[in-house]
């Protein structure tokens, strides 16, 4: 596992301040461009996005590392469930897609580290919104939600039930009957 404080200067990403509609559009475009909408695995999707996936032992503090030199890496906990890994990867792709390039431009000579427990939540919340839109496109999610609520959505998109609830809440769907 990489060090939380690497031997090079680093910064945490900052939120791009996009609207929910803009985040949906970016996530959907990336999912199509990187092959996720055609059924490619998240390993293949990450490769297409130029991001590596590695596993680390506890404590796992870094979600996404974009070092000065070398490829960006999503760091997954070694003992996580597949459904949790899918959400973690999608969230990391949100940091990568929305926030890393602006952070690099604003902080030349610095690497970027998106942490599991960031200093501020704005970038993390935005990256999670991207991740949910990436994994669960709005139209398909709404259909699954109204077929069987959280369980149907969770099963269809292979995500934890709590993430299906968060997506429904973000889309302002009825959470009760």
Task: Give the per-residue pLDDT at 6.
Answer: 66
- pLDDT grade, residue 69 (50/70/90)? confident
Task: Give the per-residue pLDDT at 70.
Answer: 87
> In terms of domains, do 119 and 164 share one?
no
pLDDT in tens, 87-142: 999 999 999 999 999 999 999 999 999 999 998 999 999 999 999 999 999 999 99
> In terms of domains, do 16 and 77 share one?
yes
> In terms of domains, do 39 and 84 share one?
yes
Task: Give the per-residue pLDDT at 158.
Answer: 97
66 contact partners, CB below 8 Å, separation of at least 6 = 72, 96, 100, 104, 111, 112, 113
Task: Give the per-residue pLDDT at 4.
Answer: 59
**Tokens, residue 26:** 């970016």
CA angle 151, 153, 155 (to 5 degrees): 65
> In terms of domains, do 120 and 33 share one?
yes
The parent domain of residue 145 ranges over 137-170
pLDDT exceeds cutoff 70 at 177: no
> In terms of domains, do 90 and 157 share one?
no
> In terms of domains, do 94 and 47 share one?
yes
Residue at 4 is within a domain: no
Residue at 104 is within a domain: yes
Distances (CA, A) of 75 to 18, 54, 118, 165: 25, 5, 15, 25
pLDDT in tens, 4-52: 556 778 999 999 999 999 999 999 999 999 999 999 999 999 999 999 9
pLDDT exceeds cutoff 60 at 1: no
> In terms of domains, do 42 and 122 share one?
yes
> In terms of domains, do 32 and 93 share one?
yes
Distance in angstroms (rounded) separating the CA atoms of residues 45 and 144? 23
Residue at 74 is within a domain: yes
Residue at 115 is within a domain: yes
- The number of beta carbons lying within 10 Å of the beta carbon of residue 71 is 12
Task: Give the per-residue pLDDT at 3.
Answer: 54
Distances (CA, A) of 152 to 103, 143, 176: 38, 9, 15
Residue at 2 is within a domain: no
Residue at 5 is within a domain: no
Phi/psi for 171 (5° steps) reads -90, 5
> In terms of domains, do 30 and 107 share one?
yes
Residue at 33 is within a domain: yes
- How many helices (H) does the chain have, and how many strands (E)? 7, 5
> In terms of domains, do 112 and 57 share one?
yes
Distance in angstroms (rounded) separating the CA atoms of residues 42 and 48? 10
pLDDT exceeds cutoff 80 at 2: no
> In terms of domains, do 71 and 150 share one?
no
Which helix (H) or strand (E) segment holds residue 112: the answer is: strand 111-115
**Domain at 125, CATH number:** 1.10.10
> In terms of domains, do 15 and 93 share one?
yes
73 contact partners, CB below 8 Å, separation of at least 6 = 2, 51, 52, 53, 54, 64, 65, 67
């Amino acid at each position: 596992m990489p060090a939380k404080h690497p031997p090079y200067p680093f910064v945490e990403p900052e939120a791009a301040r996009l609207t929910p509609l803009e985040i949906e559009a970016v996530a959907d475009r990336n999912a199509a461009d990187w092959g996720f909408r055609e059924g490619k695995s998240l390993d293949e999707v990450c490769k297409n996005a130029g991001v590596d996936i590695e596993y680390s032992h506890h404590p796992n503090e870094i979600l996404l590392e974009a070092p000065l030199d070398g490829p960006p890496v999503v760091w997954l906990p070694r003992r996580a469930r597949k459904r949790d890994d899918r959400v973690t990867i999608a969230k990391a792709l949100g940091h990568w897609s929305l926030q890393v390039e602006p952070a690099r431009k604003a902080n030349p000579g610095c690497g970027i580290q998106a942490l599991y427990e960031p200093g501020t939540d704005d970038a993390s919340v935005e990256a999670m919104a991207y991740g949910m839109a990436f994994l669960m496109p709005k139209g398909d999610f709404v259909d699954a939600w109204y077929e069987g609520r959280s369980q149907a959505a969770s099963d269809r998109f292979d995500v934890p039930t709590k993430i299906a609830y968060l997506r429904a809440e973000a889309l302002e769907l009825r959470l009760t009957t």
